[in-house]
């Protein structure tokens, strides 16, 4: 039986000026990711892949795309693509719920 091990973490909003079309990489913190993408949004979490997702704004509309993460990117609780498969871009809006990865534990009972 699979069971979630903890509730989702919630973060305060990040206030950042982003130019139209600028891509924000999202991933697990590594020195390489930070040096290659100084504007990256990074997390210290085992369920976030090194290169997990990307976000960008085009003409006032924000987009989210999973870039082939193993544990998934979810928009309003719906996984954007299968594991290790890049998703198409999805439009996001204020109030949407974005989840990076899923932490679960497999329990075996006899």
What are the pLDDT digits (tens) for 25-75?
Answer: 999 988 888 888 888 888 888 888 888 999 999 999 999 999 999 999 999
Q: What CATH number does the domain containing 29 carry?
A: 2.60.200.20
Residue 101 lies in a domain: yes
Residue 12 lies in a domain: no
**% of the chain beyond a pLDDT of 90:** 48
What are 56's two structure tokens?
Answer: 């960008």
- The structural domain count of the chain equals 1
Residue 66 lies in a domain: yes
CA atoms of 15 and 6, how far apart (whole Å):
27
Residue 43 lies in a domain: yes
- Number of Cβ within 10 Å of residue 98's Cβ equals 15
Q: How far is CA 46 from the centre of its chain?
A: 12
pTM of the model: 0.79
Residue 96 lies in a domain: yes
Give the per-residue pLDDT at 44.
Answer: 86
- Among 5-14, 45-54, 63-72, 89-98, the minimum mean pLDDT is found in 5-14
Q: Domain of residue 37: give its range.
A: 20-106
Residue 50 lies in a domain: yes
Q: DSSP code of 50?
A: S
């Amino acid at each position: 039986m699979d069971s979630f091990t903890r509730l989702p973490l919630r973060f305060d909003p990040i206030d950042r000026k982003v130019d139209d079309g600028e891509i924000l990489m999202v991933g697990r913190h590594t020195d390489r990711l930070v040096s290659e993408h100084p504007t990256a949004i990074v997390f210290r979490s085992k369920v976030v892949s090194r290169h997990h997702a990307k976000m960008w704004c085009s003409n006032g509309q924000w987009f989210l795309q999973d870039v082939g993460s193993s544990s998934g990117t979810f928009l309003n609780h719906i996984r954007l693509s299968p594991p290790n498969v890049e998703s198409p871009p999805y439009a996001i809006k204020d109030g949407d719920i974005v989840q990076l990865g899923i932490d679960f534990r497999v329990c075996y009972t006899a």
